Structure 1
Amino acid sequence: VYCETTNGQELPHGPYKFKVAYDKLVIASGSEPLTFNISGVKKHAIFLREVRDAQEIRRKLLLNLMLSENP
């Protein structure tokens, strides 16, 4: 995953960019998501609470795969 700082302030050398390597996805069900009052998180994130949420993640992944194959 490629990350970039977005603290809303201009940094003298631009945003800090870094890569986070991982090989496992952790799904923690039964908890309340923390959004840390970051604007846009509730609108753009998918919170996994029910089977319907998992189906939505799958649908979005497949849609993005199809779109990437047809530029």
Structure 2
Amino acid sequence: MKVDATTLPAGVLQTADPDALKDHQTATTVTAGAETGGLDFGYVGAAALGDKAWDDLNANGLQDAGEPVWQA
């Protein structure tokens, strides 16, 4: 099984691989009529939260006049 790493979002890092090589692939044998499971690959990406939240009353993603800011 192989994960096409070129399809991953920018900045995503591999954290786990079934054979521990972290090369986006692992060898497995599946016989006719059988299913395979437990081949878990792990990936993590960067994330950030901003420092401001407001009630986006018109759902345009911008803080417009009259849209209240939530204070922590």
> If the length of structure 1 is used for normalisation, what is the TM-score?
0.17
Of Structure 1 and Structure 2, the greater helix share is in 1
Q: Which has the higher contact order (CA 8 A, sep 6+)?
A: 2
Q: Answer with 1 or 2: which has the greater Rg.
A: 2
> If the length of structure 2 is used for normalisation, what is the TM-score?
0.17
